[in-house]
Amino acid sequence: MRTDQDQPVRLADYQPPSWLVETVDLDVALHPTETRVRAKLRLKPNPAAPAAPLALDGDGLTLRSIKLNGAPLAAENYAATPDRLSIAQPPRRPFVLELETVVDPTANTALSGLYRAGDTYCTQCEAEGFRRITYFPDRPDVMAVYTTRIEAEKSEAPVLLANGNLTEAGDVAGTTRHYAVWRDPFPKPSYLFALVGGVLGHVADEFVTMSGRKVALRIYVEPGRESRADFAMDALKRAMRWDEEAFGREYDLNIFMIVAVSAFNMGAMENKGLNIFNDKYVLASPETATDEDYANIDGIIAHEYFHNWTGNRITCRDWFQLCLKEGLTVFRDQEYTADQRSRPVERISDVRALRAHQFVEDAGPLAHPVRPEVYREINNFYTPTVYEKGAEIVRMLKVLLGADGFRKGMDLYFARHDGQAATVEQFIACFAKATDRDLAQFMRWYRQAGTPEVAVTLSHDAKAATCTLEIAQMLPATPGQPVKEPQVIPLALGLVAPDGRDLPLRRADGRAVERGVLVLTRPAETFVFTNVPQRPVASLNRGFSAPIRLTANLNADDLRFLAAHDSDAFNRWQALQTLAVTLLIDNVKALRAGQPMRQDAGFLSALGAIVADTALEPAFVARALTLPTEADVARELGRDVDPDAIFAARNALRTAVGDALGPALRDIYRRLSVSAPYSPDAESAGRRNLKNVALDLLAASSGSAAIAIAARQYASADNMTDRMAAIATLSLHPVRERQAAIDDFYRRYQVDPLVIDKWFALQAAIPEAATLDRVKELTRHPAFSLGNPNRVRSLVGAFAMMNQTQFNRADGAGYAFLTDTVLALDGRNPQVASRMMTAFKSWRALEPGRRGKAEAELRRVAAAPSLSTDVRDIVERSLADT
């Protein structure tokens, strides 16, 4: 395991590799505790780099033998430690290095490198896991052609898979073992290497690419679970077709495989031709998966598949360029989902997630640029900023350049850089070249951390019939970046006339407003529009065209007007959110000052109008009825956060909404309670979502009648979405029906770990004082294990990330529980431990009492005798002053 002595890595220190690897021949003999790995590397000096000794990365390795050009290497000619293999004076020409190492997959609890998920052998090499298998220049700009021979006991691993195409398979004569040889003709970095061995069932299908090539498709799962992979297979085929249609990208090997494993640190991994997935993102049946699970599977299957071009065919030069593959691929999966489902609803979901994760990260001690300049542990940079803000940057490019310009830039990127390890500069240069634009200032989005604050003041001159927008942008200081420069902000807007129609945008200076987008580039600027006889309402940042915090001189009447009339569906939703957050913040402040909360009849009637608008799709209405979360309110408050006051204010508003819209909500519930067979399509899911949101609001207001309905829905549901929604509603109320449902749920699903995860998460999220003791007790439940990341995330993660009041208990006991868990987990699985630790990322925004308690816990972790690099990095950055 890596220790905390490691030096920080800096982008500015990048040097091309001194040695290149042309081919890698791996021969892996699987064994539960002593897997033997033979690696034959064809190395050559890099003509583009100065001559240097050979230094290969390792991580916890034991070298068994070493040969150079076929001859054993004398001990004085190399140095091998667990972390490094060096040859001081290698030949100055191409040579072959043969290495033998031995690894113990069963003891590998970090789930990086070669490990066992249950009884299945599998690998996870991104970012730096390949060095836990063999010594190698483990960096993404070293790309090689891999041939992998795997050998195993037939009974233990009848299925043997690796990247590429199968070239040979058979029995090992005179033994009970067999082997398979896979060859991947596409040069790739080591982080995309994968192998799998185990007892697995599969579903098979075929895809014919746009040029008419046949591709075999296989999804491997635990035997007996095959039918639960059907939806994933369907998603894969839709994703393959979409990438052809939307980006002209075709699949390139003869076979594409996905393997679902039960123990996985992340969601899924895009290994060339052999994606490995957390089984949570593959397996689905109506009885065990919710609509949300189906949507996640659809999006993640697509995401990993899309990496085949954005990540694999074109990879990253170094890990600082991570957003080059992840931000771009998130953008691509978001667009896929928007095309498959509802574009406005997808945008609302993506923006909610961006604000919930990325804005929060940007406002706290872990803020960093989309392309960081330094890291101590790369695993800690798979962040909302790299992913989600990274995707927003790509989206802004599309807004700025238009769909055609964007596509030209992407085409040029694929044409120029196929087969290469590229940089963000090279990516942006393709768009500049293809559209003949200067994107130098745009690059600041990659270099500056923080969420831009944009303030808009609209004024209207009736006599001149002009409307003026004064717009200022400001980027707050973030750790290590006290002073910032203005960024390029594409602000899509409309001026909405009193009759609800969009006015044509005519600028007084005669310049056009291309595609309805103002391009901000300076700290302050003024835009004058002519032919505006009556004061319009500005609809700003339509579709969330830029990832900014926006304030404008819009009053409550303006917001209600936009909620009812804006032609931009996103901004209709946004107007309601702004009204609700404003009300909630006022009421939190009132509660803190011992004053009564106010009601907002205008907000309630605006919501009522949305509910009554039958032209709106149910999924949109459901989003509109979903009030800002407690975390949303905390984020907008920004300081002196008291989670109990937020909870109380939000609960009061939920009750008020349930009261005010009661008849309409009951009508929705009745209307949408149909008994058609379950289908996971977006429209059906939207109707279920709206029905269940209505039920939850009714339970928040009227109590017992709605509780009885929820209990009935729980018992009679024929799908997990409705059953889960009912039990989630019950869980918010201390009623007899709640415990009965919790007990019943366990009995029904105890054989199904992924469903038991829902059971853990549900209980961890109950917002009441008894929850912490319940969670502690559940850590001793036979179904719980610190060894399985899904279990840890469902119980401990849900408690720390989803339960604002109980994690942030005033007595600090929630914080202490989390740090105890992190310390217990760190020696076993540092990646998951450090993720859990990010629950403290907003500790400085808390009111003084809780802030002190959180800081004490962070310091307790910092003082622990042996910490992984992962956790130490998060804790130290969380505590740092600037």
Which stretch in 58-66, 172-180, 301-309, 482-490 sits in contact with ligand BES by CB under 6 A? 301-309
- The backbone torsions φ and ψ at residue 847, rounded to the nearest 5 degrees and listed phi first, read -65, 160
Q: How far is the CB of 358 from ligand BES (least distance, A)?
A: 13
**Using rule CB under 6 A, residue 235 touches ligand BES:** no
CB closer to ligand BES, 269 vs 730: 269
CB of 121 to ligand BES, least distance (A): 18
Q: What is the DSSP string of 475-514?
A: ---BTTB-S-----EEEEEEEE-TTSPBPP--BTTS---G
Out of 98, 126, 291, 377, the residue judged to bind ligand BES by CB under 6 A: 126
Kindly state the greatest CA–CA separation across the chain: 97
Q: Are strands 201-208 and 214-221 parallel, antiparallel or unpaired?
A: antiparallel
- Stretch of 15-23, 300-308, 704-712, 757-765 contacting ligand BES, by CB under 6 A: 300-308
On whether the CB atoms of residues 509 and 465 are closer than 8 A, the answer is no
**Angle, alpha carbons 337-713-234 (nearest 5°):** 25
Query: Which among ligand BES, Zn ion, none contacts residue 691 (Cβ within 5 to 8 A by kind)?
Result: none
Collapsing DSSP states into helix, strand and coil, what is residue 834? Answer: helix
Would you count residue 346 as binding ligand BES (CB under 6 A)? Answer: no
Q: Which two tokens stand for residue 11?
A: 């982008």
Q: Which is nearer to ligand BES, 221 or 268 (CB)?
A: 268
HSE-CB of 456 using CA atoms within 13 angstroms: 24
270 binds ligand BES (CB under 6 A): yes
Give how far the C-alpha of residue 483 lies from the chain's centroid of Cα atoms, to the nearest Å.
Answer: 29
Check if the beta carbon of residue 687 is closer than 8 Å to that of residue 618.
yes
Tell me if 614 sits within 8 A of 588, measured CB to CB.
Answer: no
User: Quick one: DSSP state of residue 797?
Assistant: I
Strands (E), 307-359: 315-316
Catalytic residue among 222, 304, 346, 630: 304
Q: How far is the CB of 326 from Zn ion (least distance, A)?
A: 5
CB of 377 to ligand BES, least distance (A): 11
Q: Is 382 in the site for ligand BES (CB under 6 A)?
A: yes
What is the torsional sign of CA 685, 688, 689, 690? positive
Q: Which is nearer to ligand BES, 301 or 795 (CB)?
A: 301
Match 């928040």 to its residue by tokens.
700
In this structure, are residues 527 and 518 in contact, taking their beta carbons and an 8 Å threshold?
yes
Q: Toward ligand BES, which CB reaches closer, 183 or 357?
A: 357
Which residues have CB under 8 Å from 380's CB, separation 6+? 834, 870, 873, 874
Please answer whether residues 693 and 352 qualify as being in contact, where contact means their C-beta atoms are separated by less than 8 angstroms. no
Quick check: 111 binds ligand BES (CB under 6 A)?
no
Q: Which helix (H) or strand (E) holds 149?
A: strand 144-153
* Residue of 73, 269, 532, 725 interacting with ligand BES (CB under 6 A): 269
Q: Does 243 bind ligand BES (CB under 6 A)?
A: no
The residue from 60, 201, 267, 767 that contacts ligand BES (CB under 6 A) is: 267
Determine, following the binding rule CB under 6 A, whether residue 263 of this chain makes contact with ligand BES. no
Nearer to ligand BES by C-beta: 193 or 387?
387
**Angle, vertex CA 852, rays to CA 475 and CA 450, nearest 5:** 10
Closest listed residue to residue 742, CA positions, set 771, 725, 716, 762? 762
Answer whether 331's CB lies under 8 Å from 410's CB. no
Pick the closest to residue 187 from 338, 73, 347, 20 (CA basis): 20
Round to whole Å and give the CA distance between 351 and 330: 13
Q: Is 835 in the site for ligand BES (CB under 6 A)?
A: no
> Quick one: which of 481, 535, 543, 188 has its CA closest to 354?
543
Give the pair of three-digit tokens for residue 245.
């249609």
- Closer of 317 and 572 to Zn ion (Cβ): 317
Q: Would you say 98 or 270 has its CB closer to ligand BES?
A: 270
Using the contact rule CB under 6 A, the part of the chain among 261-269, 468-476, 611-619, 771-779 near ligand BES is 261-269
Q: How far is the CB of 487 from ligand BES (least distance, A)?
A: 25
Q: Which is nearer to ligand BES, 124 or 574 (CB)?
A: 124
Instruction: Figure out which of the listed residues 257, 268, 422, 475 binds ligand BES, where binding follows CB under 6 A.
Output: 268
Closer Cβ to Zn ion, 329 or 587, answer by number: 329
CA distance 278 to 722: 24
Q: Which does 126 bind (CB under 5 to 8 A by kind): Zn ion, ligand BES, none?
A: ligand BES
Candidate ranges 202-210, 268-276, 343-351, 832-840; the one touching ligand BES (CB under 6 A): 268-276
Rule CB under 6 A: choose which of 266, 323, 471, 619 binds ligand BES: 266
Residue 621 contacts residue 608 (beta carbons within 8 Å): no
- Which residue's CB atom is positioned nearest to ligand BES? 267
Q: Which does 646 bind (CB under 5 to 8 A by kind): Zn ion, ligand BES, none?
A: none
Q: Structure tokens of 234?
A: 């369907």
C-alpha span between 723 and 678 (Å, rounded): 12
Work out the number of other CB atoms within 10 angstroms of the CB of residue 203.
18
| Share of the chain residues as helix, strand and coil, in percent rounded to the nearest 5 | 45, 20, 35
CB closer to ligand BES out of 299 and 490: 299
DSSP character at residue 567: S
Stretch that binds ligand BES, among 29-37, 296-304, 569-577, 593-601 (CB under 6 A): 296-304
CB nearer to ligand BES: pick between 127 and 795: 127
- Least distance CB 129 / ligand BES (angstroms): 8
Q: Which is nearer to Zn ion, 315 or 701 (CB)?
A: 315
Q: Which does 127 bind (CB under 5 to 8 A by kind): ligand BES, Zn ion, none?
A: ligand BES
Residue 142 CB, nearest approach to Zn ion (Å): 20
Please select the residue that binds ligand BES; options are 307, 368, 635, 758, rule is CB under 6 A.
Answer: 307
The residue from 21, 200, 300, 469 that contacts ligand BES (CB under 6 A) is 300
Query: Which residue among 31, 149, 303, 542 contacts ligand BES (CB under 6 A)?
Result: 303
Is residue 617 part of the annotated active site? The answer reads no
Whole-Å CA distances, 342 to 331, 339, 349, 570: 16, 7, 11, 12
For residue 803, which of 610, 643, 632, 655 has the smallest C-alpha distance?
643
- At closest approach, how far in Å is the CB of 845 from ligand BES? 25
Q: Is 260 in the site for ligand BES (CB under 6 A)?
A: no
486 touches 521 (CB < 8 A): yes
Q: Least distance (Å) from ligand BES to the CB of residue 467?
A: 41
Alpha carbon distance 587, 656 (integer Å)? 13
CB of 675 to ligand BES, least distance (A): 33
256 binds, among ligand BES, Zn ion, none (CB under 5 to 8 A by kind): none
Judged by beta carbon, residue 387 or residue 815, the one nearer ligand BES is 387
Among positions 320-339, residues that touch ligand BES (CB under 6 A) are 326, 330
Residue 266 site contact among Zn ion, ligand BES, none (CB < 5 to 8 Å, cut-off depends on kind): ligand BES
Across the beta sheet with 177-188, the strand order is 71-72, 63-68, 95-103, 35-45, 19-29, 144-153, 177-188, 165-171
Of the ranges 10-18, 267-275, 501-509, 639-647, which one interacts with ligand BES (CB under 6 A)? 267-275
Interacting residue ranges for Zn ion, rule: CB under 5 A: 326, 329
Catalytic residues: 304
Please give the residue ranges that form the binding site for ligand BES (CB under 6 A): 126-127, 266-270, 299-300, 303-304, 307, 326, 330, 382, 387
